[in-house]
Amino acid sequence: MILSDETLRRMIAEKSIVVDPIESYQVQPASIDLRLGRHFLKIDENTLESLSLDSELPYVKIEKDEIIIPPHSFLLATTVEFIRIPANVTAFVEGRSSIGRMGLFIQNAGWVDPGFEGNITLELFNANRLPLRLTSGRRICQIVFAFMDKATRTPYAGKYQGQRGTVGSKIFNDVDRRAPG
């Protein structure tokens, strides 16, 4: 069941869900708007022949209040807000429609596991043929929370737990679990 504004306000007041900092205008009927931070990562394309899932990627770190994403370009960003969700709640992040209509695709790999805490790293792609100027502090996406049928026995404790700022891919740390044989 997706949480309503009334439930979100109550859970934030009780601190069972943390969205910090938060302003009252960010709470929408069935979501909370999140704002763009000022920390960005861009893959250092000039040092790579190709991307690999098996090794750490080099990133160029950028900290500024305004950034321009060139046409057909990819950039990692972060939310201003630090999020903490309990073991009986999950969430997903969606781009704001008004921004999507300008050609900016916003993703965070789609899902926020129960028990997660940290800033949300956003994957931004400018699908437009024009550069897109973004300003930190602007509402960029929305997080939608939902109750699970019961609390998970294994809250998220993965490689992105507690992340602050923009965090690049850590897929090189994955251990694939394959059946023997």
Q: Which two tokens stand for residue 44?
A: 């250092």
HSE at residue 178, side-chain half, CA atoms within 13 A, is 5
Q: Which two tokens stand for residue 64?
A: 């500024």
Judge contact between 30 and 2, C-beta under 8 A: yes
C-alpha distance from residue 75 to each of 8, 62, 70, 102, 161 (Å): 30, 10, 10, 16, 21
Using DSSP, state whether 111 is helix, strand or coil: coil
As given in the structure block, the two tokens for residue 150 are: 């019961």
Contact 21, 35 (CB under 8 A): no
Say how far apart CA 82 and CA 34 lie, in whole Å.
Answer: 10
Helix (H) and strand (E) counts in the chain: 2, 11
> Catalytic residue numbers?
123
